[in-house]
A and B are shown apart, each in its own frame.
Chain A
Amino acid sequence: MNEDQIVSFQCSNCGLAMFPRHTRCRACRNTDFREAPVREGKVITHTRLTATRPGFAKELRLVVVELSNGVRVLGQLADDTEVESGSRVVVSWGKLSEREGKTVSGFRFLSVGRAHG
Protein backbone atom coordinates (compact mmCIF):
# COMPACT_ATOMS: atom_id res chain seq x y z
CA MET A 1 0.00 0.00 0.00
CA ASN A 2 1.27 3.45 -0.93
CA GLU A 3 1.76 5.16 2.39
CA ASP A 4 1.20 8.81 1.54
CA GLN A 5 -2.37 8.57 0.40
CA ILE A 6 -5.87 7.85 1.59
CA VAL A 7 -7.69 5.36 -0.57
CA SER A 8 -11.23 6.65 -0.88
CA PHE A 9 -13.95 4.69 -2.66
CA GLN A 10 -15.81 5.94 -5.68
CA CYS A 11 -19.16 4.44 -6.60
CA SER A 12 -18.88 2.75 -9.99
CA ASN A 13 -22.49 3.66 -10.75
CA CYS A 14 -23.05 7.29 -9.68
CA GLY A 15 -19.47 8.44 -9.03
CA LEU A 16 -19.93 9.57 -5.42
CA ALA A 17 -16.67 9.22 -3.52
CA MET A 18 -16.60 8.27 0.15
CA PHE A 19 -14.37 7.24 3.02
CA PRO A 20 -14.64 4.92 4.81
CA ARG A 21 -16.11 2.45 2.39
CA HIS A 22 -19.79 1.68 2.88
CA THR A 23 -21.35 -1.62 1.87
CA ARG A 24 -23.85 0.33 -0.26
CA CYS A 25 -23.37 3.72 -1.90
CA ARG A 26 -24.92 6.53 0.18
CA ALA A 27 -26.48 8.05 -2.93
CA CYS A 28 -27.58 5.19 -5.20
CA ARG A 29 -27.18 2.00 -3.07
CA ASN A 30 -24.87 0.39 -5.59
CA THR A 31 -22.36 -2.06 -4.08
CA ASP A 32 -19.41 -1.67 -6.49
CA PHE A 33 -16.65 0.86 -5.86
CA ARG A 34 -13.29 1.65 -7.41
CA GLU A 35 -10.35 2.88 -5.40
CA ALA A 36 -9.65 6.60 -5.59
CA PRO A 37 -6.36 7.59 -3.90
CA VAL A 38 -6.11 11.14 -2.53
CA ARG A 39 -3.02 12.91 -1.18
CA GLU A 40 -4.10 16.34 0.06
CA GLY A 41 -6.89 18.50 1.34
CA LYS A 42 -7.77 21.46 3.54
CA VAL A 43 -8.73 21.69 7.20
CA ILE A 44 -12.42 22.24 7.94
CA THR A 45 -12.08 22.22 11.73
CA HIS A 46 -9.58 21.09 14.36
CA THR A 47 -9.22 20.39 18.07
CA ARG A 48 -6.51 19.70 20.61
CA LEU A 49 -7.69 16.84 22.77
CA THR A 50 -6.21 16.52 26.27
CA ALA A 51 -8.51 13.75 27.56
CA THR A 52 -7.26 11.03 25.24
CA ARG A 53 -8.06 7.34 25.20
CA PRO A 54 -5.71 4.64 26.50
CA GLY A 55 -2.89 3.97 24.02
CA PHE A 56 -2.93 7.43 22.44
CA ALA A 57 -0.62 10.38 23.04
CA LYS A 58 -1.46 12.46 26.13
CA GLU A 59 -2.35 15.28 23.81
CA LEU A 60 -3.86 14.60 20.42
CA ARG A 61 -4.56 17.01 17.59
CA LEU A 62 -7.48 15.93 15.45
CA VAL A 63 -8.67 17.53 12.24
CA VAL A 64 -11.56 17.13 9.84
CA VAL A 65 -10.15 17.52 6.34
CA GLU A 66 -11.91 18.02 3.06
CA LEU A 67 -9.81 16.02 0.60
CA SER A 68 -9.16 17.25 -2.94
CA ASN A 69 -11.97 15.02 -4.26
CA GLY A 70 -14.50 16.49 -1.81
CA VAL A 71 -14.51 13.58 0.66
CA ARG A 72 -14.34 14.64 4.31
CA VAL A 73 -12.29 12.53 6.70
CA LEU A 74 -11.16 12.74 10.29
CA GLY A 75 -7.55 12.15 11.25
CA GLN A 76 -4.64 13.02 13.48
CA LEU A 77 -2.39 15.95 12.72
CA ALA A 78 1.11 14.47 12.80
CA ASP A 79 3.35 17.48 13.24
CA ASP A 80 3.18 20.28 15.76
CA THR A 81 2.79 23.20 13.39
CA GLU A 82 -0.19 25.48 13.80
CA VAL A 83 -3.24 24.84 11.65
CA GLU A 84 -6.29 26.96 11.12
CA SER A 85 -9.50 26.23 9.35
CA GLY A 86 -8.54 26.48 5.68
CA SER A 87 -4.93 25.29 6.15
CA ARG A 88 -3.65 22.93 3.46
CA VAL A 89 -2.56 19.49 4.60
CA VAL A 90 -0.97 16.49 2.91
CA VAL A 91 -1.40 12.84 3.79
CA SER A 92 1.40 10.93 5.49
CA TRP A 93 1.66 7.61 7.30
CA GLY A 94 2.60 6.86 10.88
CA LYS A 95 1.83 5.47 14.30
CA LEU A 96 -1.65 6.32 15.59
CA SER A 97 -1.62 4.46 18.90
CA GLU A 98 0.26 1.87 20.90
CA ARG A 99 -1.34 -0.27 23.58
CA GLU A 100 -0.03 -3.37 25.31
CA GLY A 101 2.81 -3.67 22.82
CA LYS A 102 0.51 -3.46 19.80
CA THR A 103 1.10 -0.55 17.43
CA VAL A 104 -1.66 0.73 15.17
CA SER A 105 -0.53 2.72 12.12
CA GLY A 106 -2.55 4.63 9.57
CA PHE A 107 -2.83 7.84 7.60
CA ARG A 108 -2.14 11.13 9.32
CA PHE A 109 -2.01 14.73 8.13
CA LEU A 110 0.89 17.17 7.84
CA SER A 111 0.23 20.86 7.49
CA VAL A 112 1.80 22.70 4.55
CA GLY A 113 0.53 26.23 5.16
CA ARG A 114 -2.45 28.38 4.33
CA ALA A 115 -4.59 27.81 1.29
CA HIS A 116 -4.77 30.64 -1.24
CA GLY A 117 -8.08 32.26 -2.03
Chain B
Amino acid sequence: MRQVAIVGVGVTKFGKHEKGVLQLLAEATLSALKDSRTEQEKFDDVFIGNFASGEFEGKTGIANALTSDLALEPAFASKIENTSGSGGAALYLGWMSVASGQSNMALVAGGEKMTSVPTEAATDIIATLTHEEEYKQGVSLLSFAGLMTRNYLEKYGAPREVLAKVAVKNHENASLNPNAQFQKTITVEQALLSPIIADPLRLYDFCPITDGAAAVVMVPAERAASFTERPVLVSGIGGATDTHVVSEREDLTVLKAVKRAAEKAYAASGKAPKDIQVAELHDMFTLMEIVQSEDLGFFAKGEGWKAVEAGVTRRDGRLPINTSGGLKAKGHPIGATGVAQAVEIVWQLQGRCGARQVDAGVGLTCNVAGFGNNAVVSILERMK
Protein backbone atom coordinates (compact mmCIF):
# COMPACT_ATOMS: atom_id res chain seq x y z
CA MET B 1 0.00 0.00 0.00
CA ARG B 2 1.13 3.54 -0.76
CA GLN B 3 1.21 6.30 1.84
CA VAL B 4 -1.55 8.86 1.41
CA ALA B 5 -1.51 12.59 2.12
CA ILE B 6 -4.14 15.27 2.45
CA VAL B 7 -2.99 18.30 0.46
CA GLY B 8 -5.94 20.64 0.78
CA VAL B 9 -9.13 21.11 2.78
CA GLY B 10 -12.27 23.23 2.74
CA VAL B 11 -15.35 23.74 4.86
CA THR B 12 -18.50 25.87 4.78
CA LYS B 13 -19.77 27.80 7.74
CA PHE B 14 -21.87 25.43 9.87
CA GLY B 15 -25.37 26.51 10.86
CA LYS B 16 -28.63 27.27 9.09
CA HIS B 17 -28.21 27.89 5.35
CA GLU B 18 -30.51 28.90 2.53
CA LYS B 19 -28.35 26.72 0.28
CA GLY B 20 -29.12 23.05 -0.38
CA VAL B 21 -26.75 20.15 0.13
CA LEU B 22 -25.34 20.30 -3.42
CA GLN B 23 -24.47 23.98 -3.14
CA LEU B 24 -22.89 23.40 0.27
CA LEU B 25 -20.82 20.50 -1.08
CA ALA B 26 -19.76 22.62 -4.06
CA GLU B 27 -18.68 25.47 -1.81
CA ALA B 28 -16.58 23.24 0.47
CA THR B 29 -15.08 21.44 -2.53
CA LEU B 30 -14.07 24.67 -4.28
CA SER B 31 -12.24 25.73 -1.09
CA ALA B 32 -10.42 22.40 -0.95
CA LEU B 33 -9.46 22.58 -4.64
CA LYS B 34 -8.12 26.08 -4.15
CA ASP B 35 -6.29 25.10 -0.96
CA SER B 36 -4.58 22.20 -2.78
CA ARG B 37 -4.10 24.14 -6.05
CA THR B 38 -5.84 21.31 -7.90
CA GLU B 39 -8.46 23.37 -9.77
CA GLN B 40 -7.12 22.14 -13.10
CA GLU B 41 -6.18 18.62 -12.05
CA LYS B 42 -7.85 15.39 -13.12
CA PHE B 43 -9.55 13.55 -10.26
CA ASP B 44 -9.88 9.76 -10.37
CA ASP B 45 -12.41 9.45 -7.54
CA VAL B 46 -15.18 11.49 -5.92
CA PHE B 47 -16.54 10.08 -2.64
CA ILE B 48 -19.44 11.99 -1.10
CA GLY B 49 -20.45 11.31 2.49
CA ASN B 50 -24.15 11.99 2.98
CA PHE B 51 -26.80 10.44 5.19
CA ALA B 52 -30.25 11.37 3.96
CA SER B 53 -30.46 13.90 1.14
CA GLY B 54 -33.49 11.99 -0.12
CA GLU B 55 -35.37 12.32 3.17
CA PHE B 56 -34.24 15.86 4.00
CA GLU B 57 -34.47 17.47 0.57
CA GLY B 58 -35.93 14.96 -1.86
CA LYS B 59 -32.58 14.79 -3.65
CA THR B 60 -30.88 11.58 -4.76
CA GLY B 61 -27.81 10.87 -6.87
CA ILE B 62 -25.96 13.78 -5.31
CA ALA B 63 -22.42 12.48 -5.97
CA ASN B 64 -23.11 12.35 -9.69
CA ALA B 65 -24.80 15.73 -9.62
CA LEU B 66 -21.86 17.32 -7.82
CA THR B 67 -19.26 15.69 -10.10
CA SER B 68 -21.02 17.08 -13.13
CA ASP B 69 -21.63 20.52 -11.60
CA LEU B 70 -17.94 20.89 -10.76
CA ALA B 71 -16.72 19.46 -14.09
CA LEU B 72 -14.93 16.58 -12.39
CA GLU B 73 -15.93 14.04 -15.05
CA PRO B 74 -14.86 11.38 -15.89
CA ALA B 75 -13.94 10.59 -12.26
CA PHE B 76 -15.61 7.64 -10.56
CA ALA B 77 -18.24 9.06 -8.20
CA SER B 78 -20.43 7.64 -5.48
CA LYS B 79 -22.40 8.72 -2.46
CA ILE B 80 -21.29 6.96 0.71
CA GLU B 81 -24.07 6.45 3.28
CA ASN B 82 -23.03 5.36 6.75
CA THR B 83 -25.43 7.41 8.94
CA SER B 84 -23.41 9.76 11.19
CA GLY B 85 -20.24 8.08 10.00
CA SER B 86 -20.84 8.83 6.31
CA GLY B 87 -18.00 11.37 6.20
CA GLY B 88 -15.59 9.02 7.93
CA ALA B 89 -16.56 6.21 5.60
CA ALA B 90 -15.92 8.45 2.58
CA LEU B 91 -12.53 9.35 4.05
CA TYR B 92 -11.74 5.66 4.51
CA LEU B 93 -12.64 4.86 0.90
CA GLY B 94 -10.69 7.83 -0.44
CA TRP B 95 -7.65 6.66 1.50
CA MET B 96 -8.15 3.07 0.30
CA SER B 97 -8.40 4.10 -3.32
CA VAL B 98 -5.23 6.21 -3.27
CA ALA B 99 -3.31 3.77 -1.04
CA SER B 100 -4.09 0.84 -3.33
CA GLY B 101 -2.86 2.64 -6.42
CA GLN B 102 -6.30 2.68 -8.00
CA SER B 103 -6.47 6.45 -7.75
CA ASN B 104 -3.89 9.22 -7.95
CA MET B 105 -6.21 11.96 -6.78
CA ALA B 106 -9.38 11.61 -4.75
CA LEU B 107 -11.91 14.17 -3.63
CA VAL B 108 -13.59 13.28 -0.34
CA ALA B 109 -16.45 15.55 0.65
CA GLY B 110 -19.30 15.26 3.10
CA GLY B 111 -22.42 17.34 3.51
CA GLU B 112 -25.91 17.49 4.93
CA LYS B 113 -28.84 19.86 4.69
CA MET B 114 -30.99 19.28 7.78
CA THR B 115 -32.91 22.49 8.50
CA SER B 116 -35.16 21.86 5.50
CA VAL B 117 -37.47 19.89 7.85
CA PRO B 118 -38.75 20.68 11.39
CA THR B 119 -36.64 19.38 14.30
CA GLU B 120 -39.21 16.70 15.20
CA ALA B 121 -39.13 15.36 11.63
CA ALA B 122 -35.32 15.40 11.62
CA THR B 123 -35.28 13.36 14.85
CA ASP B 124 -37.64 10.85 13.22
CA ILE B 125 -35.53 10.59 10.04
CA ILE B 126 -32.43 9.95 12.14
CA ALA B 127 -34.29 7.40 14.32
CA THR B 128 -34.94 5.21 11.25
CA LEU B 129 -31.34 4.01 11.53
CA THR B 130 -32.23 2.07 14.70
CA HIS B 131 -33.30 -1.57 14.77
CA GLU B 132 -37.02 -1.93 13.98
CA GLU B 133 -37.78 -3.58 17.34
CA GLU B 134 -36.18 -0.68 19.23
CA TYR B 135 -37.69 1.87 16.83
CA LYS B 136 -41.15 0.44 17.51
CA GLN B 137 -40.73 1.18 21.24
CA GLY B 138 -40.18 4.88 20.51
CA VAL B 139 -36.43 5.22 20.64
CA SER B 140 -34.49 8.03 19.08
CA LEU B 141 -30.77 8.63 19.41
CA LEU B 142 -31.68 11.06 22.19
CA SER B 143 -33.15 8.25 24.29
CA PHE B 144 -30.16 5.94 23.77
CA ALA B 145 -28.04 8.87 24.95
CA GLY B 146 -30.05 9.22 28.16
CA LEU B 147 -29.93 5.47 28.81
CA MET B 148 -26.18 5.27 28.27
CA THR B 149 -25.50 8.35 30.36
CA ARG B 150 -27.44 7.17 33.44
CA ASN B 151 -25.67 3.81 33.20
CA TYR B 152 -22.25 5.52 33.04
CA LEU B 153 -22.86 8.00 35.86
CA GLU B 154 -24.12 5.23 38.17
CA LYS B 155 -21.44 2.73 37.24
CA TYR B 156 -18.44 5.02 37.62
CA GLY B 157 -19.73 7.52 40.18
CA ALA B 158 -19.23 10.47 37.86
CA PRO B 159 -20.99 13.71 38.84
CA ARG B 160 -23.68 15.13 36.52
CA GLU B 161 -21.80 18.46 36.46
CA VAL B 162 -18.90 16.97 34.54
CA LEU B 163 -21.13 16.64 31.46
CA ALA B 164 -21.88 20.35 31.62
CA LYS B 165 -18.13 20.98 31.69
CA VAL B 166 -17.74 19.18 28.36
CA ALA B 167 -20.42 21.45 26.88
CA VAL B 168 -18.80 24.58 28.34
CA LYS B 169 -15.39 23.58 26.96
CA ASN B 170 -16.72 22.85 23.49
CA HIS B 171 -18.75 26.06 23.32
CA GLU B 172 -15.64 28.00 24.32
CA ASN B 173 -13.64 26.32 21.55
CA ALA B 174 -16.44 27.01 19.05
CA SER B 175 -16.43 30.68 20.01
CA LEU B 176 -12.90 30.77 18.56
CA ASN B 177 -13.91 28.94 15.37
CA PRO B 178 -15.53 31.29 12.83
CA ASN B 179 -17.06 28.29 11.00
CA ALA B 180 -18.85 26.95 14.09
CA GLN B 181 -22.63 27.12 14.50
CA PHE B 182 -22.48 28.44 18.07
CA GLN B 183 -20.32 31.48 18.66
CA LYS B 184 -21.32 32.10 22.29
CA THR B 185 -19.81 30.65 25.42
CA ILE B 186 -22.08 29.10 28.04
CA THR B 187 -21.76 28.48 31.79
CA VAL B 188 -22.06 25.26 33.77
CA GLU B 189 -25.17 26.71 35.46
CA GLN B 190 -26.85 27.43 32.10
CA ALA B 191 -26.15 23.89 30.92
CA LEU B 192 -27.50 22.38 34.14
CA LEU B 193 -30.68 24.46 33.98
CA SER B 194 -31.49 23.87 30.29
CA PRO B 195 -34.66 21.83 29.58
CA ILE B 196 -34.59 18.07 30.13
CA ILE B 197 -34.59 16.08 26.88
CA ALA B 198 -33.77 12.51 27.98
CA ASP B 199 -32.92 12.57 31.65
CA PRO B 200 -30.27 12.90 32.97
CA LEU B 201 -29.46 14.74 29.72
CA ARG B 202 -30.60 18.28 28.97
CA LEU B 203 -30.75 20.43 25.87
CA TYR B 204 -27.16 21.71 26.24
CA ASP B 205 -25.83 18.16 26.30
CA PHE B 206 -26.81 17.61 22.67
CA CYS B 207 -25.46 18.72 19.31
CA PRO B 208 -27.78 20.92 17.25
CA ILE B 209 -29.41 20.38 13.84
CA THR B 210 -26.99 21.81 11.29
CA ASP B 211 -26.42 22.46 7.59
CA GLY B 212 -22.87 22.32 6.27
CA ALA B 213 -20.21 20.60 4.20
CA ALA B 214 -16.49 19.82 4.29
CA ALA B 215 -13.97 18.49 1.76
CA VAL B 216 -10.41 17.18 1.52
CA VAL B 217 -8.14 16.29 -1.39
CA MET B 218 -6.04 13.11 -1.12
CA VAL B 219 -2.98 12.18 -3.20
CA PRO B 220 -0.11 9.68 -2.87
CA ALA B 221 2.28 11.06 -0.23
CA GLU B 222 5.18 11.07 -2.71
CA ARG B 223 3.32 13.65 -4.84
CA ALA B 224 2.16 15.81 -1.92
CA ALA B 225 4.93 18.41 -2.09
CA SER B 226 3.81 19.56 -5.54
CA PHE B 227 0.44 20.72 -4.14
CA THR B 228 1.21 22.21 -0.73
CA GLU B 229 4.06 23.22 1.56
CA ARG B 230 2.22 21.66 4.50
CA PRO B 231 0.96 18.18 3.57
CA VAL B 232 -0.63 15.97 6.21
CA LEU B 233 -0.06 12.22 6.21
CA VAL B 234 -2.95 9.81 6.80
CA SER B 235 -0.70 7.44 8.73
CA GLY B 236 -3.43 5.09 9.88
CA ILE B 237 -7.14 4.62 9.37
CA GLY B 238 -9.47 1.89 10.59
CA GLY B 239 -13.16 1.14 10.54
CA ALA B 240 -15.15 -1.41 12.52
CA THR B 241 -18.64 -2.35 13.70
CA ASP B 242 -20.59 -3.44 16.79
CA THR B 243 -24.16 -4.68 17.36
CA HIS B 244 -27.01 -2.84 15.64
CA VAL B 245 -29.36 -3.62 18.53
CA VAL B 246 -28.02 -1.24 21.17
CA SER B 247 -29.67 -2.95 24.15
CA GLU B 248 -28.00 -6.28 23.49
CA ARG B 249 -24.51 -4.91 24.22
CA GLU B 250 -23.06 -6.48 27.35
CA ASP B 251 -21.88 -3.06 28.53
CA LEU B 252 -23.70 0.05 27.37
CA THR B 253 -20.79 2.26 28.44
CA VAL B 254 -18.36 0.70 25.96
CA LEU B 255 -18.24 1.51 22.24
CA LYS B 256 -16.65 -1.65 20.86
CA ALA B 257 -16.69 -0.32 17.30
CA VAL B 258 -14.51 2.60 18.45
CA LYS B 259 -12.08 0.28 20.26
CA ARG B 260 -11.78 -1.99 17.23
CA ALA B 261 -11.40 0.83 14.71
CA ALA B 262 -8.78 2.48 16.92
CA GLU B 263 -6.76 -0.72 17.23
CA LYS B 264 -6.54 -0.89 13.43
CA ALA B 265 -5.60 2.77 13.07
CA TYR B 266 -2.93 2.62 15.78
CA ALA B 267 -1.46 -0.57 14.31
CA ALA B 268 -1.29 0.92 10.81
CA SER B 269 0.33 4.14 11.97
CA GLY B 270 2.67 2.65 14.56
CA LYS B 271 1.32 5.17 17.05
CA ALA B 272 -0.07 4.59 20.52
CA PRO B 273 -2.74 6.58 22.39
CA LYS B 274 -0.01 8.46 24.28
CA ASP B 275 1.36 9.82 20.97
CA ILE B 276 -1.88 11.65 20.10
CA GLN B 277 -1.60 15.40 20.72
CA VAL B 278 -5.00 16.67 19.53
CA ALA B 279 -8.26 14.83 18.78
CA GLU B 280 -11.68 15.46 17.26
CA LEU B 281 -14.23 13.08 18.78
CA HIS B 282 -17.87 12.42 17.94
CA ASP B 283 -19.65 14.27 20.77
CA MET B 284 -23.25 14.04 19.52
CA PHE B 285 -23.98 14.37 23.25
CA THR B 286 -21.58 15.31 26.02
CA LEU B 287 -20.91 11.87 27.49
CA MET B 288 -19.97 10.50 24.05
CA GLU B 289 -16.77 12.55 24.15
CA ILE B 290 -15.83 11.03 27.52
CA VAL B 291 -16.68 7.46 26.51
CA GLN B 292 -14.69 7.72 23.28
CA SER B 293 -11.71 9.23 25.12
CA GLU B 294 -11.67 5.97 27.11
CA ASP B 295 -12.33 3.55 24.25
CA LEU B 296 -9.58 5.22 22.19
CA GLY B 297 -7.17 4.41 25.02
CA PHE B 298 -6.47 7.98 26.18
CA PHE B 299 -7.85 7.24 29.65
CA ALA B 300 -8.85 4.09 31.55
CA LYS B 301 -12.52 2.98 31.37
CA GLY B 302 -14.57 4.97 33.84
CA GLU B 303 -11.87 7.62 34.28
CA GLY B 304 -12.39 9.84 31.26
CA TRP B 305 -14.63 12.15 33.26
CA LYS B 306 -11.76 12.81 35.68
CA ALA B 307 -9.65 14.09 32.79
CA VAL B 308 -12.44 16.57 32.00
CA GLU B 309 -12.50 17.69 35.65
CA ALA B 310 -8.71 18.12 35.62
CA GLY B 311 -8.78 20.20 32.42
CA VAL B 312 -6.66 17.67 30.49
CA THR B 313 -8.91 17.96 27.42
CA ARG B 314 -9.01 21.75 27.31
CA ARG B 315 -7.00 23.65 24.70
CA ASP B 316 -4.27 24.30 27.27
CA GLY B 317 -4.37 20.73 28.59
CA ARG B 318 -2.16 17.77 27.75
CA LEU B 319 -4.64 16.38 25.19
CA PRO B 320 -6.95 19.00 23.68
CA ILE B 321 -10.21 17.41 22.49
CA ASN B 322 -12.60 19.04 20.03
CA THR B 323 -10.75 22.30 19.49
CA SER B 324 -13.24 22.98 16.67
CA GLY B 325 -16.11 23.02 19.16
CA GLY B 326 -17.00 19.42 18.31
CA LEU B 327 -20.39 18.26 17.12
CA LYS B 328 -21.80 19.84 20.27
CA ALA B 329 -20.97 23.44 19.38
CA LYS B 330 -19.48 23.49 15.87
CA GLY B 331 -22.60 21.61 14.74
CA HIS B 332 -23.32 18.19 13.23
CA PRO B 333 -24.40 18.23 9.58
CA ILE B 334 -24.49 14.44 9.62
CA GLY B 335 -22.65 13.48 6.42
CA ALA B 336 -20.16 16.33 6.78
CA THR B 337 -18.93 15.53 10.27
CA GLY B 338 -16.32 12.85 9.58
CA VAL B 339 -14.71 15.02 6.91
CA ALA B 340 -14.97 18.19 9.01
CA GLN B 341 -13.14 16.44 11.85
CA ALA B 342 -10.25 15.75 9.46
CA VAL B 343 -10.31 19.38 8.30
CA GLU B 344 -9.86 20.62 11.88
CA ILE B 345 -6.96 18.24 12.57
CA VAL B 346 -5.30 19.17 9.27
CA TRP B 347 -5.58 22.86 10.18
CA GLN B 348 -4.19 22.21 13.67
CA LEU B 349 -1.22 20.30 12.23
CA GLN B 350 -0.64 23.06 9.68
CA GLY B 351 -0.82 25.79 12.34
CA ARG B 352 -3.85 27.49 10.76
CA CYS B 353 -6.26 27.54 13.71
CA GLY B 354 -5.72 31.11 14.91
CA ALA B 355 -6.98 31.75 18.44
CA ARG B 356 -7.74 28.06 19.07
CA GLN B 357 -4.36 26.80 17.79
CA VAL B 358 -2.65 24.13 19.89
CA ASP B 359 0.85 22.67 19.56
CA ALA B 360 0.47 19.29 17.85
CA GLY B 361 2.21 17.13 15.25
CA VAL B 362 -0.04 14.06 15.52
CA GLY B 363 -3.84 14.13 15.64
CA LEU B 364 -6.76 11.72 15.65
CA THR B 365 -10.35 11.76 14.43
CA CYS B 366 -13.14 9.48 15.64
CA ASN B 367 -16.35 9.44 13.62
CA VAL B 368 -19.17 7.29 15.00
CA ALA B 369 -22.16 5.97 13.05
CA GLY B 370 -25.55 4.87 14.29
CA PHE B 371 -25.43 4.71 18.04
CA GLY B 372 -21.92 3.30 18.12
CA ASN B 373 -22.57 0.43 15.75
CA ASN B 374 -19.91 1.66 13.36
CA ALA B 375 -16.82 3.83 13.76
CA VAL B 376 -13.95 5.18 11.67
CA VAL B 377 -10.76 6.33 13.39
CA SER B 378 -7.97 8.10 11.54
CA ILE B 379 -4.52 9.23 12.61
CA LEU B 380 -3.06 12.25 10.85
CA GLU B 381 0.52 13.50 11.06
CA ARG B 382 2.43 16.54 9.92
CA MET B 383 4.71 15.32 7.11
CA LYS B 384 8.41 15.78 7.64
Asked if A96 meets B136 with Cβ closer than 8 Å, knowing A45-B252, A50-B195, the reply is yes
Docked complex Cα distance between A18 and B131 (Å)? 14
How many whole Å from B148's CB to the nearest CB in chain A? Answer: 7
Asked if residues B199 and A47 are in contact (CB atoms below 8 Å), the reply is: yes
Docked complex Cα distance between A85 and B247 (Å)? 15
The segment from B32-40, B57-65, B138-146, B356-364 that touches chain A is: B138-146
Question: Which of B139, B146, B200 has its CB near the most chain A CB atoms (within 10 A)?
Answer: B139
Asked if residues B147 and A96 are in contact (CB atoms below 8 Å), the reply is: no
Q: A64 within 8 Å of B by Cβ? A: yes
Asked if A75 meets B123 with Cβ closer than 8 Å, knowing A46-B150, A49-B198, A85-B154, the reply is no
Docked complex Cα distance between A62 and B139 (Å)? 8
Asked if residues A51 and B137 are in contact (CB atoms below 8 Å), the reply is: no
Asked if A54 meets B124 with Cβ closer than 8 Å, knowing A64-B247, A71-B248, the reply is yes
Asked if residues A51 and B198 are in contact (CB atoms below 8 Å), the reply is: yes
List the B residue with the shortest CB-CB distance to A107: B137
Please indicate the chain B residues that have their CB under 8 angstroms from the CB of A53 in the complex.
120, 123-124, 127, 138, 140
Number of chain A interface residues as a range: 20 to 34
Asked if residues B137 and A75 are in contact (CB atoms below 8 Å), the reply is: yes
Asked if A85 meets B133 with Cβ closer than 8 Å, knowing A49-B140, A51-B197, A62-B139, the reply is no
- Which residues of A are interface residues toward B (Cβ below 8 A)? 18-20, 26, 44-54, 56, 60, 62-64, 71-76, 85, 96-97, 104, 106
Q: Which 7 A-B pairs have the closest CB atoms?
A: A47-B146, A45-B151, A74-B247, A20-B133, A56-B138, A49-B143, A48-B199
List, sorted by A's number, 13 A–B pairs whose CB atoms are closer than 8 Å. A20-B132, A47-B147, A48-B198, A49-B138, A49-B142, A50-B195, A53-B120, A53-B138, A62-B146, A64-B151, A74-B139, A75-B137, A85-B154
Instruction: Please name 6 further chain A to chain B contacts, defined as beta carbons within 8 Å, in addition to the given A47-B150, A54-B124, sorted by A numbering.
Output: A45-B150, A49-B138, A64-B151, A74-B137, A97-B136, A104-B136
